[in-house]
Amino acid sequence: MDKLLIRGGRRLHGEIAIAGAKNAALPELCAALLTAEPVTLENVPRLQDVATTLKLLRNMGARAERSEAAPETVAIDASGVTSPEAPYDLVKTMRASILVLGPLLARFGEATVSLPGGCAIGSRPVDQHIKGLQAMGAEITVEHGYILAKAKRLKGARITTDMVTVTGTENLLMAATLAEGETILENAAQEPEIPDLAELLIKMGARIAGHGTHRIRIQGVERLHGTTHRIVPDRIETGTFLCAVAATGGELLLRDARADHLDAVLEKLREAGMAIETGSDWIRLKSSGRPKAVSFRTSEYPAFPTDMQAQFMALDCIAEGASKVTETIFENRFMHVNELVRLGANIVVDGHTALVQGVPKLSGATVMATDLRASASLVIGGLVADGQTLVDRIYHLDRGYDRMEAKLRGIGADIERIK
């Protein structure tokens, strides 16, 4: 199992180009199943969850290859799909495999998808995905750990999910593009990855309006065609690097970054004392002096994203003053707390709230990654800690970050991968 060895205490300076968004790439790769024509996606990040999704598509009989010439470009041809299914051994490594359910059902009228297990941050049920597809006429049973779905042709429906669900909205949006008649998704998620998915689907011939708001209207069409689409930059990778340099001190220029997708985080970073300038596709952060402690509460977009909670908490650990971090989306997303405490942080968890008392210094130690964003939080902890930090089980990090240690080394971090 790979580890990251970090020698902390260095200020960071330099420039990083942000990769395409993981949480846009995953649904958009699955959207290619909706047509028999080739779909080309550009700016596809190089990370494990994308590799898993390509394997899943090939497993069904689709062609899904990164181009040799431009490794950020992926071509998918789903004309040859023979088995519309997602087996347990692949789904257990990546819950987002559930995103094949809507497309397979819409195009092939059937799908067999392993129920995604829970993960470190919560039970992660998919009841809303199933409820919505049943409302569109699908017959769905769950047996032996598999979702068995059938539908001659899905019918448009008006669907209100019990809570805002990102992949739930994405699955129903994709399914509705080929359904008969109109579908209205009420209580839809507004995360930027959803309008990006909608733009891809519209380029493929889908008829969608309201994407990016809580009400999305889709008029079903007979079929979709191929297209080329460039994936939106990753707002969470962006926020992660901003928190890292905010914590270490220094200056960072992020290129291909969308400041307008990160308002809540930029606001909190300014509150922490950071000087931040932004342009249409860049963000510059200057961090001098000790950050001020900032309280925040996660919620659905456009509020503070749950996927930035662990990283910003790492910043609060060395800030001046006390802060309160409240996690409202997942039931168990404080797995990084105990590991940050091993680095010398002063954090007390009380239910969905963590109370962080900023300390002047962290001290390097061996820590263990438990989930994707917790890993990023520990890397940030290691970058500011005195001495050496060894982050174990960084396969969690590799699932969702595109060559993180290389990018950090590029701005002066002393970080290396130990095989």
Residues in the interface with ligand EPZ (CB under 6 A) total 23
Query: Which two tokens mark 211?
Result: 């994407």
Is residue 127 a contact residue for ligand EPZ (CB under 6 A)? yes
The minimum distance between CB 191 and ligand EPZ, in angstroms, equals 6
Residues recorded for the chain: 419
Is residue 129 a contact residue for ligand EPZ (CB under 6 A)? yes
Answer for which of 122, 145, 279, 387 binds ligand EPZ (CB under 6 A) is 122
Part in contact with ligand EPZ (CB under 6 A); list of ranges 163-171, 308-316, 354-362, 410-418:
163-171
The minimum distance between CB 401 and ligand EPZ, in angstroms, equals 10
CB neighbours (10 Å) of residue 70? 11
The minimum distance between CB 132 and ligand EPZ, in angstroms, equals 9
Beta bridge partners of 77: 63
| Torsion 18-23-24-27 (CA) sign | positive
The minimum distance between CB 95 and ligand EPZ, in angstroms, equals 6
Instruction: Annotate each residue in 254-293 with x if it binds ligand EPZ (CB under 6 A) or - if it does not, as one string.
Output: ----------------------------------------
Please, which residue, 27 or 358, has the CB nearer to ligand EPZ?
27
Answer for which of 114, 165, 183, 240 binds ligand EPZ (CB under 6 A) is 165
The C-alpha atoms of residue 362 and residue 344 are separated, in whole angstroms, by 5
Of 203, 153, 186, 251, which is closest to residue 28 (Cα–Cα)?
Answer: 203
Part in contact with ligand EPZ (CB under 6 A); list of ranges 10-18, 123-131, 178-186, 260-268:
123-131
Burial (CB < 10 A; 0-12, 13-18, 19+), residue 102, is buried
The C-alpha atoms of residue 106 and residue 109 are separated, in whole angstroms, by 6
Chain center to CA of 154: 28
Answer for which of 45, 168, 192, 381 binds ligand EPZ (CB under 6 A) is 168
Which phi and psi (to 5°) does residue 199 adopt? -60, -40
CB neighbours (10 Å) of residue 398? 21
| Torsion 96-97-101-107 (CA) sign | positive
Answer for which of 329, 374, 404, 413 binds ligand EPZ (CB under 6 A) is 329
Which of 30, 119, 243, 317 is flagged as catalytic? 119
Please, which residue, 167 or 227, has the CB nearer to ligand EPZ?
167
Is residue 20 a contact residue for ligand EPZ (CB under 6 A)? no
Block residue for tokens 């910043």: 315
The C-alpha atoms of residue 139 and residue 8 are separated, in whole angstroms, by 55
The per-residue DSSP string of 142-168 comes to EETTEEEEE-SS-B--EEE-SS--HHH
Known catalytic residue at 30:
no
The minimum distance between CB 175 and ligand EPZ, in angstroms, equals 14
- The amino acid occupying position 233 is P
Residues between 368 and 387 that touch ligand EPZ (CB under 6 A): 372-373
Answer for which of 26, 147, 185, 208 binds ligand EPZ (CB under 6 A) is 26
Report the chain's terminal Cα–Cα distance, integer Å: 7
Answer for which of 48, 52, 53, 167 binds ligand EPZ (CB under 6 A) is 167
The minimum distance between CB 309 and ligand EPZ, in angstroms, equals 9
* DSSP secondary structure letter of residue 329: S
Chain center to CA of 380: 18
Answer for which of 62, 154, 166, 343 binds ligand EPZ (CB under 6 A) is 166
Answer for which of 114, 128, 177, 323 binds ligand EPZ (CB under 6 A) is 128
Is residue 126 a contact residue for ligand EPZ (CB under 6 A)? yes
Query: Which two tokens mark 22?
Result: 């993981």
The minimum distance between CB 225 and ligand EPZ, in angstroms, equals 26
Helix (H) or strand (E) holding 244: helix 235-248
Quick check: helix, strand or coil at residue 222?
coil
Is residue 306 a contact residue for ligand EPZ (CB under 6 A)? yes
Answer for which of 146, 304, 312, 330 binds ligand EPZ (CB under 6 A) is 330
Is the CB of residue 349 less than 8 Å from the CB of residue 334? yes
The minimum distance between CB 201 and ligand EPZ, in angstroms, equals 16
Block residue for tokens 């040859």: 80
Answer for which of 16, 32, 96, 345 binds ligand EPZ (CB under 6 A) is 96
Binding site for ligand EPZ (CB under 6 A): 22-23, 26, 96, 122, 124-129, 163, 165-168, 306-307, 329-330, 372-373, 400
Give me the active site residues, please.
119
